[in-house]
Structure 1
Amino acid sequence: MMASAVAACGLLLSFLLLTLLRPRLPAPWRWHWRGLAMHAGLWCLAYGVLLLLLGRPWFSLGLALAFVMLLVQVSNAKHLALREAFVFQDFEYFTDAIRHPRLYIPFLGWGKFAAIVVVVSAALLAGLWLEPLAAERFAAAGAGWPAIILALLGASLLFVGHGKVEPSFDPAADLARWGFFACLWFYGVAERRPLVSSKERAAAPYLASGGDLLVVQSESFFDPRPLYDGIRRDVLATFDGISQQAMHSGPLSVPAWGANTVRSEFAFLSGLPASALGVHRFNPYRGALASDIQTLAQQARAAGYRTVCVHPYPASFYRRDRVFPHFGFDQFIDIAAFADAPRCGPFVADTALAERVKGLFAQAGQPLFVFVITMENHGPLHLEKCTAADVAALYEPAPPSGCEDLTVYLRHLRNADRMAGELQAFLAARGKPARFCWYGDHVPIMAGVYRQLGEPAGDTAYFIWDTQAEGAPQRTRRALHELADALVS
């Protein structure tokens, strides 16, 4: 009886903890009944399994509630930085945070992370020390009986609540309809569907010509000058100049905000909009190896090109070491090739990356497609320091207090602008046909700056420049999934 009472108490507390989610969820009685059934079922199943394994009712309660609280805090941190709640596909980031802590934990907050570690550790020690182990916890006559009943009840509720649910995959709408636990479940089940597409790639007359291709996905690249009039116009002087000469340029609608670079990578390479991906829109690479997606790299390789990806970060991140060969890349050059390269901040400098790319084209013996994913401007920006010299060089007049992240960002953005100029000048001097595409994957995470200066729309910017282009440049708004077809048409 005690275990059942503790489980009921925990269920109520789990609903209470979800009131801390931001933005707030509707009250549970406003959820679809399936959402309530899934929430109660997941709680009973999880608590029943913990109770069976641990034999301590209160300790099991504490662990289950601590996990719920962890998910709430992580979801709130993600929403603050990325305007999106935690979804099932984000569970992968827990292991990524262990392997790459600097990329993730600062957005939760080192203080909050330390507090979570202390509280969880204290709860574990207190639970093991203060609550005695139940006798015969695996026996039906002992603690095992209520645990088994709770687990079976939870499984029954999951069976009843599961049904044939078709989420919208708009997290805000689905959370409001189903609740947090049910959304995690439904998104997890939906991921079992394969990532497939019947889309045939459009004809690519440029590839038939054998001209080289260089594509740079510039980390967090966008034009921040509309945010604040005091940003010096020459921060993007080179980008502006190339855009005025380019075949195509303009604002770019991208499927990511602040992070989730792979969403933008996949949109460019596959030519597929997020609406065609179902649940795979959140991380297309999780299901990519079982997909039949046709990519620009496959198309280029079939036309006789050597295809190379250059990304100065571990190739295993986001499974790129396995996904990119599947997408048609002959070679992946990762951080191992940049051991002695200069850094700007914690990451390989964009100018060092430009030198590596120029070397690839200088040595090419066949048409070459190089896809570059930069890292220099990757956050967290607030871990870097800005100086009075930076402010003087980047603004006139200086911005209001609280814009330090913007100053750090602009310092890196100026280097990205320099990289674009170096690559354009190199391609122009070679005297060989080449096209050069540059775009930003998403806007940067600068929550404090956006509170001060206003939030951008989320568009980035792009250009497609051709060494032999004739005719008037076209300024055209595009969606990222349309960009590759424009590049090779």
Structure 2
Amino acid sequence: MSVFFLGLFFLAISAEAIDTFTIPRGFIRDPRGIPFRVLFATALLSAFSILTGSIWFAFATSLFIVLALVIGSNLKHRMLGEPLVFSDLVVASSFLKEPKFYLHAIPPALLGLIAVLLPLLLAGFAFVSWHGALTNRLAGIVGLSISIGLLHVLLARTTLMPIPRLVGDTKQFGAIPTILVYWHRWRQEPDAAPPPALPAADSVPELVIIVQCESFADPAELNLQPSQLPGLEQARQHASLHGKLHVSGFGAYTMRTEYGVLCGRSEKDLGFRHYDPFLTASQDQGFALPHRLAHLYPQRVFVHPHDLRFYSRDRLMPELGFNRIVAEQDFAEALRIGPYISDEALGQKLKQLASESMKPTLIYAVSMENHGPWKAGRLDAADGAGAYTQHLANSDLMLADLTAMLEQDGRSALLVFFGDHRPSIPGQIEAQPERHTPYTMLRFPRDTENSVQDLTPAELHHAILAEILRAQAGNTAA
């Protein structure tokens, strides 16, 4: 038992020392974060003592995990402008599906170190588990029971971090206390009462096409060499509404923008749920566009040319009210430009769905072509930014093509096109306070109104509903 307490002492001291390197760094960490780190370290040491029967191997493994959390938080802050949060750990399984989404963020030297240490830890785990002492396992059982119980009481009674303030809280308290408290606050967030039903209508726009375009941003806003986006410029000239879309994420977090546009709940309303609103979106299905518009649009189609298991879209989108899913398997023969299905192929699929629709149809599409990582050699570009702007031009062509198709179609329609977030390209496009992307909303047949308004994704949701209801009123008056 004395060895257990000795290991715990060294682990607690080491965890405190390691956590001081968390970015952003405060001059002095708030001491109220210490009990969270100590109890977290105790729980780790105890759990691995139970599994292995070796206190010192449990110490080494626990130290590795604490170090990995801090390094991971710092890498994320460097790439995306915000530290690690509890929801990042929940979706860690995505790493196994598409490791290339994440490996590019890890420096080669660190990757090499992990490649050496991880097999050693696994081999050591197998060896010491076979030879571990029963007394160490029993000490672990006692330690885990006490640490989990005390941590539960501490979280239940804490008054720290009452509102989301991720960067400031990490700077003040450190990575581990912030992860733990934010997870607790997230579990306490109440579900919202569903919104009232939308009114019935005899006539609605026959087509509503909403395109969430991967990493679509105005290159003039990214400090890149100016690139022509004629499709976006033309759309802005003829849009009934356009402007800046103030997304919260940079370089990632597609689901935050997607949730905002689909469900219309602001990040303030979501509270601690806003870091990954898809984790609780099943409780918000009454807010979702396809659910609220089901009585007006018999056909409600979700289109995404990639693996729908990401963010659990395969389960979530039907729950939100879509009654047809067009996914990766429906693009088996489609053109790829770079690693992913092209925006040209996505645009052709949207045109096909529009031409086949015999009833009022709502289509929500999420593009994939311009997904990172971007690096030299992709599309034979000299650097990542060069590859990005080539893909960006293809996204712009898709917007122009969809606009021309709806112009010629003759049916009443609404086209909404927006970027989900800016790209993160280390050394070329870095996180900064300005994170907005462009959006446009075009009505067909066109009218003379052209308004400019900056919106959040949730506000864009309500603007879409207002435009459909406006069309209803216009059709009823006619």
TM-score by length of 1: 0.88
Aligned to 2:473: none
Structure 2 residue 182 is the aligned partner of structure 1 residue 174:
no
**CA distance in 2: counterparts of 1:149 and 1:179, whole angstroms:** 27
**CA distance in 2: counterparts of 1:436 and 1:8, whole angstroms:** 61
2:347 to 333, 348, 354: 354
Structure 2 residue 412 is the aligned partner of structure 1 residue 417:
no
1:485 to 448, 458, 462: 462
**CA distance in 2: counterparts of 1:297 and 1:194, whole angstroms:** 25
1:117 to 102, 115, 118: 115
After the TM superposition, which of the residue ranges 218-227 and 327-336 deviates more from structure 2? Answer: 218-227
Aligned to 1:219: 214
Structure 2 residue 154 is the aligned partner of structure 1 residue 183:
no
Structure 2 residue 63 is the aligned partner of structure 1 residue 65:
yes
Amino acid paired to 2:68: L
Q: After superposition, give the CA deviation of every residue in 1:330-381 in whole Å (9 maximum; x if it has no partner).
A: 1111101111111111000000100011000111010111101000011011
Mapping 1:134-153, distance limit 5 Å: 134-135=132-133, 137=134, 142-144=135-137, 146-153=139-146
Residues 1:56 and 1:240: Cα distance change in structure 2 (over 3 Å): same
How many residue pairs match? The answer is 463
After the TM superposition, which of the residue ranges 149-158 and 369-378 deviates more from structure 2? Answer: 149-158
Residues 1:429 and 1:187: Cα distance change in structure 2 (over 3 Å): same
**CA distance in 2: counterparts of 1:311 and 1:36, whole angstroms:** 45
TM-score by length of 2: 0.90
2:91 to 90, 93, 111: 93
**CA distance in 2: counterparts of 1:311 and 1:427, whole angstroms:** 20
Mapping 1:49-448, distance limit 5 Å: 49-109=47-107, 111-126=109-124, 133-135=131-133, 137=134, 142-144=135-137, 146-162=139-155, 163-165=157-159, 167-193=162-188, 196-198=191-193, 200=195, 208-228=203-223, 230-232=225-227, 234=228, 236-382=229-375, 384-385=377-378, 387=380, 404-448=383-427
8 Å contact 1:194–1:290 — kept in the other structure? no
Aligned to 2:429: 450
After the TM superposition, which of the residue ranges 433-442 and 148-157 deviates more from structure 2? Answer: 148-157
Percent of residue pairs identical:
25
8 Å contact 1:40–1:157 — kept in the other structure? no
Structure 2 residue 451 is the aligned partner of structure 1 residue 474:
yes
**CA distance in 2: counterparts of 1:439 and 1:94, whole angstroms:** 27
Secondary structure of the structure 2 residue equivalent to 1:411? helix
After the TM superposition, which of the residue ranges 410-419 and 375-384 deviates more from structure 2? Answer: 375-384
After the TM superposition, which of the residue ranges 331-340 and 142-151 deviates more from structure 2? Answer: 142-151
Kindly state the Cα deviation for residue 407 of structure 1 after the two structures are TM-superposed.
1.1
Secondary structure of the structure 1 residue equivalent to 2:215? coil
Residues 1:159 and 1:229: Cα distance change in structure 2 (over 3 Å): closer
Kindly state the Cα deviation for residue 160 of structure 1 after the two structures are TM-superposed.
4.5
8 Å contact 1:201–1:294 — kept in the other structure? no
Aligned to 1:16: 17
RMSD over aligned Cα atoms: 2.5
Q: After superposition, give the CA deviation of every residue in 1:107-158 in whole Å (9 maximum; x if it has no partner).
A: 22455334213212224435766899354x1xxxx33454344334423541
Residues 1:83 and 1:57: Cα distance change in structure 2 (over 3 Å): same
Secondary structure of the structure 2 residue equivalent to 1:61? helix
8 Å contact 2:53–2:129 — kept in the other structure? no
**CA distance in 1: counterparts of 2:202 and 2:433, whole angstroms:** 36
**CA distance in 1: counterparts of 2:137 and 2:392, whole angstroms:** 60
Kindly state the Cα deviation for residue 475 of structure 1 after the two structures are TM-superposed.
1.5
Residues 1:56 and 1:476: Cα distance change in structure 2 (over 3 Å): same
Amino acid paired to 1:14: A
Amino acid paired to 1:434: A
Kindly state the Cα deviation for residue 292 of structure 1 after the two structures are TM-superposed.
4.8
Consecutive unaligned residues in structure 2, runs of 5 or more:
467-478
Amino acid paired to 2:268: S
Residues 1:114 and 1:344: Cα distance change in structure 2 (over 3 Å): same
**CA distance in 2: counterparts of 1:410 and 1:443, whole angstroms:** 12
**CA distance in 2: counterparts of 1:297 and 1:47, whole angstroms:** 48
8 Å contact 1:217–1:374 — kept in the other structure? yes
Aligned to 1:31: 31
Secondary structure of the structure 1 residue equivalent to 2:105? helix
Consecutive unaligned residues in structure 1, runs of 5 or more:
392-403
8 Å contact 2:43–2:148 — kept in the other structure? yes
Kindly state the Cα deviation for residue 291 of structure 1 after the two structures are TM-superposed.
3.5
